[in-house]
A and B are shown apart, each in its own frame.
Chain A
């Protein structure tokens, strides 16, 4: 028994079995319903694009760490989650090479250049999407309706309107029914159309204790309240509210993007501020901005505000007053 000495280390000596890899696995599981819906509505090409995105993200991270002789962080699964989110955040008509460039921007520029896992200041997947949207605005907004795409996209594909664009009046078309909106039988990005599938994933994450309900609830709630009081077009207040919360990337953003640990506040209070901020910005962009959809930019802007939110929502230390001094005057 003398051959092996016991380990000497600082307490605590027992640890939770929860690991970074386990959390990321839960996130991937939670995204599967949305992926399935995406593939069901937009066909095999959707699956191809998402898989390509995941492989590209993992590949870029592997190459970067190999070239820089850094320890591999692939087992923690963060690159795979980024790839999955990026893939689900783009329309099915996206050319494959654009997808690879998006993955490069997400992993190398947004994540690794700032220090890798835990150090990026904006959500990598959203950063990749924003980069593509700004660089190839036409390619990135060729929306097609469900069941109308083959594997190969012809260059002159007819773009149909998304519900939010119709609401905004920037596109012609008939608004789909609310039930189609909820199930995801509408035009949009691969993973964002089915509110139902995203909701299922969100419930799973909350039950597993991966995310807290603060940000999704305050984000979606804020958009709901604002769209109720400032209804779009000639819709009634309730209808306007429902189209706004089921439309665009709100559910995907609120449940999976705004709750990204690294780029969101750490306290419950801060997470509510984050959610409300995202909600207000999303609605302002949708209603008054140039784009029909604003969730991406809203979250990116709030990502940047996160350190500030953290500073102002620092928890009160036990036994101190609000000003930070000791609670009782010491004798």
Chain B
């Protein structure tokens, strides 16, 4: 089979062997769980429970009338202990609901009792919204919004993203291997929503067992093909994936729907199947707990709201003070300074990296070696962007298409001078956004 890919990109050591062979292990929920009220990109949520209320597993905690919104469900049954500001993995203190687990897992009414055949496309979209599904690769964009593009954008290609190109992470890998049926059923639901007869599930070549498992299930239904991708980072980035599969480029500043594509993560797809078959909203997810500072790296099935410290304790604790604690993968994940932050919908991994894995080095002068430009999957000139960002020359940054940067980190990774390019680019991007917002007013 021809292996598909994009231009640019890097080949970091994927370090997946720490957990790739380990089956998903279901972890019993802890006593106290923390639910940051907003776990999606979009409208702010309204908290609909009060301190002292008793809640059931799957009961919604937030609501909003807005379209771009994903409700949040309790992942255990128990009592609301507190509603206040708690630390989020991203480093800010956000409104959070604290729930004391009663250990009974009393379930709320199921969201769905019909089968996929009985559901209409509209009902599927409503179910996806009620289940609170968001992009589980970490972006947190509400899935039902992706499933309902404006009428003038005709979707022709459905791509299910099982690339999992981030080093260390194996949660999608194990999920495809162990829950291939769910992945296929979810894909069929998405095909039904868009009334399309075909869909592509894209998997990187370094997961042959997952490719085999998903292909096996795909054979049983019609229209779903499995595409094998080259192992390269960032193969799972939306634009790069679309380019590898269809050969088309998402226009600068545009969305996949502009060229008739919709891309969903495999984890999200499997959750769509879950809500259809079990009627449960998104309340738990597979999280890769890994890194050399973790005693026993594992793929854990964790309830949303579980503190990182609890996840580490289920992996035998930490063997050394970690140099970095990261939510997500090492290339695009967020570093956090505390273990007392909860698993959210977008937590694909929790990494405790040792000093050796994630060394801190000071940046030295740019040599203009051009490695960053060669690897940039978006055809940008990261060295120039960094230089202009440091000069605070936002106009030149814009001219060099800084807003197209997806912050994949390939440039910083290859830089022999250890330039903190993504940091500089992020700063300039946020300044530009502020400037644009100010101009609108």
Footprint of B on A, CB under 8 Å? 1, 3-16, 18-20, 22-23, 73, 76, 116-119, 261-262, 264-268, 314-320, 325-328, 330-331
Q: 8 Å CB contacts to A: which residues of B157-177?
A: 167
B110 CB–A CB distance under 8 Å: no
Chain B min CB distance to A263 (Å): 8
Q: Which of A8, A13, A261, A314 contacts B337 (CB 8 A)?
A: A8
Q: 8 Å CB contacts to A: which residues of B321-337?
A: 321-326, 330-337
Q: Which of B322, B367, B404 contacts A317 (CB 8 A)?
A: B404
CB pair A15 B361 closer than 8 Å: yes
B318 CB–A CB distance under 8 Å: yes
Q: Which residues of B contact A117 (CB under 8 A)?
A: 364-365, 367
Known contacts A18-B414, A18-B416; A10 and B426 CB within 8 A of each other? yes
CB pair A16 B414 closer than 8 Å: yes
Identify the 3 closest CB pairs spanning chains A and B, nearest first. Answer: A12-B409, A266-B370, A118-B365
Most chain B CB within a 10 A radius of its CB, from A15, A73, A317 = A15
Q: Which of B91, B167, B404, B422 contacts A14 (CB 8 A)?
A: B167
Q: 8 Å CB contacts to A: which residues of B402-419?
A: 404, 407, 409, 412-418
CB pair B91 A8 closer than 8 Å: yes
* Interface-facing stretch out of B44-52, B53-61, B80-88, B249-257: B249-257
Assembly CA distance A15 to B417 (angstroms): 11
Q: Which of B325, B326, B365 contacts A116 (CB 8 A)?
A: B365
CB pair B334 A23 closer than 8 Å: no
Q: Which of A6, A119, A328 contacts B259 (CB 8 A)?
A: A328
Q: List 15 A-B contacts (CB under 8 A).
A: A1-B318, A6-B336, A7-B324, A8-B337, A10-B335, A10-B423, A10-B426, A11-B412, A13-B324, A13-B331, A13-B351, A14-B353, A16-B413, A76-B364, A314-B400
Assembly CA distance A19 to B362 (angstroms): 12
Q: Which residues of B contact A330 (CB under 8 A)?
A: 251, 253-254, 258
Chain A min CB distance to B373 (Å): 5
Chain A interface, DSSP helix/strand/loop, else mixed: loop
Assembly CA distance A9 to B326 (angstroms): 10
B116 CB–A CB distance under 8 Å: no
CB pair B254 A315 closer than 8 Å: no
Assembly CA distance A16 to B414 (angstroms): 5
Q: Which residues of B contact A9 (CB under 8 A)?
A: 324, 335, 360, 420, 423
Assembly CA distance A317 to B249 (angstroms): 11
Footprint of A on B, CB under 8 Å? 12, 91, 152-153, 167, 239, 243, 249-254, 258-259, 318, 321-326, 330-337, 351, 353, 357-361, 364-370, 373-374, 376-381, 383, 400-401, 404, 407, 409, 412-418, 420, 422-423, 426
Extra inter-chain contacts (7) besides given A20-B367, A264-B368, A315-B379, CB under 8 Å = A8-B336, A9-B423, A14-B167, A14-B357, A318-B378, A319-B252, A319-B404
Q: Which residues of A contact B378 (CB under 8 A)?
A: 317-319
Chain B interface, DSSP helix/strand/loop, else mixed: loop
CB pair B365 A6 closer than 8 Å: no
CB pair A11 B331 closer than 8 Å: yes
Q: Which of B249, B325, B357 contacts A318 (CB 8 A)?
A: B249
Closest A residue to B317 by beta carbon equals A1
Q: Which of A7, A118, A119, A327 contacts B323 (CB 8 A)?
A: A7
CB pair A318 B381 closer than 8 Å: no
Chain A min CB distance to B45 (Å): 27
Assembly CA distance A6 to B325 (angstroms): 6
Assembly CA distance A4 to B370 (angstroms): 36
Chain A min CB distance to B427 (Å): 9
Assembly CA distance A183 to B318 (angstroms): 60
Q: Which residues of B contact A8 (CB under 8 A)?
A: 91, 335-337
Q: Which residues of B contact A13 (CB under 8 A)?
A: 324, 326, 330-331, 333, 335, 351, 353, 358
CB pair A20 B373 closer than 8 Å: no
CB pair B413 A15 closer than 8 Å: yes
CB pair A5 B416 closer than 8 Å: no
Known contacts A12-B412, A13-B333; A319 and B249 CB within 8 A of each other? yes
Assembly CA distance A325 to B379 (angstroms): 14
Q: Which residues of A contact B422 (CB under 8 A)?
A: 10-12
CB pair B360 A7 closer than 8 Å: yes
Chain A min CB distance to B148 (Å): 16
Assembly CA distance A117 to B364 (angstroms): 9
CB pair B335 A20 closer than 8 Å: no
Q: Which of A12, A15, A19, A314 contacts B381 (CB 8 A)?
A: A314
